[in-house]
Structure 1
Amino acid sequence: MRLTVTSDNFPLVLGGVFALFFGLLAINPVSRDVWIAEVIPVAFVFLLLAATYHRFRFSNVAYGLMAVWLFWHTIGGHFTFANVPFGWFSELIGAERNHFDRIGHFSVGFYAYAIAELLIRRKLAGPIVTTLFGLFFIMSIAAGYEIIEWWYAVAEGGNAGVEFLGSQGDIWDAQKDMLADTLGAIFSLVLFWWGGKRWGSR
């Protein structure tokens, strides 16, 4: 039996693919301790989206954007972010640091699209408040996550703490991560207002 992906079943198919992907990458990760810490937010977001699917169905664009972070963060959890085989990208941009985590933080900002979609479709706020709320929500999550990373690194200590923190020796790593989250949010909000009506988000 051949499965055909349509606009109606896209979120369900995407969810099934991710569940399979998640299960495969749960096998023999580089560090089980780091993997557990990294996949907790992934599992939480995925289960939240699954549980609320029938109460509020986001657009396929929103689900697609949110899936980017789910897949990306799952890969980072398997390898640890600093050790994901991403050297080709570092060579491409002439960087010594592994920027896999920076792209992951940028993709966190994609959730601003779904936030804006929820507020607009539920008529909970106007354009200005929606935009600012989506932006500030992501910025708050970014700052909160950096605090959690710091707390875990101090509490766990050792190699697991260092790998979860993922600073790779950069003292400004937290600030740069939060900037990446913010830029991702700005990008997705621009995308929402530019093409949301065309894609059924508004």
Structure 2
Amino acid sequence: MAWQQRIPHILAVIIVATMVWSFIDPKDMRVWWAEMTPILAIFIGLAATFRKFQFSNTSYLCMSVLLILHTIGAHYTFANVPFEWFTELGNFERNHYDRIAHFSVGFYAYPAAELLVRKNWARPVTAMLFGLFLVMAVAAGYEIIEWAFAVLEGGDAGIEFLGSQGDEWDAQKDMLADTLGALAALVLFWFSKYRRQP
């Protein structure tokens, strides 16, 4: 097996190891489960379908970024991830780790477009637009889930899961970060071999 073929397996080992570490004494176990449920669903879904459909290594790398960043955020809660160096670097008033994680959500536009093109379900430009709109829809849906969890759970767990850190425009900025991440991923897709398929 060539080393390129092992990349998905290597990424899977890194992700599982990060999940195990994250599960050990997280700041808030209720928040951990709330944050990790979609991440576990994504990971299990990719593992279960690996033999039927294998994405490119680029897609697996794109998807792994969110899985790893989100798993780290689940351990500390996003507002409390040790990220002071970045806050100090940009002289920010808040911890922007969650913004970077949201940006990585957008990376899923690449595998979405790849899937559509490789399955011949859409031409490249249409597939790219679908990838963008899919990310934007998921971003909006997740913000609603965050709001609902914060209302239902209440208390510190609700506040930590919401992660707004006092920013009244947090949801909109998160959705913008998701969208910008999708646009960045689609620029990469534009230069891939899949964009040139008929």
TM-score bracket for this pair, using the shorter chain length = over 0.9
The one-letter amino acid of 1:7's match is Q
Q: Are 1:24 and 2:21 counterparts?
A: yes
Shift, 1:128, TM fit: 2.4
**In structure 1, how many angstroms separate the alpha carbons of the residues matched to 2:14 and 2:172?**
33
Distance 1:78 1:30 in 2: 6
Q: Does 1:10 align with 2:42?
A: no
Q: Does 1:53 align with 2:47?
A: no
Q: CA RMSD in A?
A: 1.6
Q: Kindly tell me: are residues 83 and 5 of structure 1, through their superposed partners in 2, closer, same or farther at Cα, counting changes over 3 Å?
A: farther
What are the superposed Cα offsets for residues 47-88 of structure 1, whole Å, 9 maximum, x if unpaired?
000011111100011101110000000000000000001011
The residue identity in structure 1 corresponding to 2:20 is G
Say if 2:121 is the partner of 1:124.
Answer: yes
2-structure distance, mates of 1:5, 1:96: 47
- For residues 168 and 62 of structure 1, do their structure 2 counterparts lie closer, same or farther at Cα, with a shift above 3 Å needed? same
Task: Tell me which of 105, 108, 111 is aligned to 1:111.
Answer: 108
Going by fraction, where is helix more abundant, 1 or 2?
A: 2
Does the aligned pair in 1 maintain the 2:106–2:185 contact within 8 Å? yes
TM-score, with normalisation over the residues of structure 1?
A: 0.94
Deviation at 1:122, TM superposition (A): 1.0
Which of residues 68, 85, 89 is equivalent to 2:86?
89
Q: After superposition, where does 1:57-76 map in structure 2 within 5 Å? A: 57-76=54-73
Counterpart check, 1:136 vs 2:133? yes
Number of equivalent positions: 197
Q: Is the 8 A contact 1:105 1:181 kept in 2?
A: yes
Asked if residue 197 in structure 1 is aligned to residue 188 in structure 2, the reply is no
Question: Which one-letter code corresponds to 1:197 in the other structure?
Answer: K
Task: After superposition, give the CA deviation of every residue in 1:146-191 in whole Å (9 maximum; x if it has no partner).
Answer: 0000000000000000000000000000000000000000000110
| 1:5 shift after superposition | 7.6
Unaligned runs of 5+ in 1: none
Q: 1:36 — aligned with what?
A: 33
Indicate the percent of aligned positions where both proteins have the same amino acid. 56
Name the residue aligned to 1:153: 150
Deviation at 1:201, TM superposition (A): 9.9
Q: Displaced runs of 4+ in structure 1, greater than 4 A?
A: none
Code of the aligned partner of 2:12: G
CA displacement 1:72-108 (0-9 Å, x = unmatched): 0000000000000101101101101100000000000
- 1:127 CA displacement: 2.2
1:86–1:5 CA distance, 2 compared to 1 (3 A)? farther
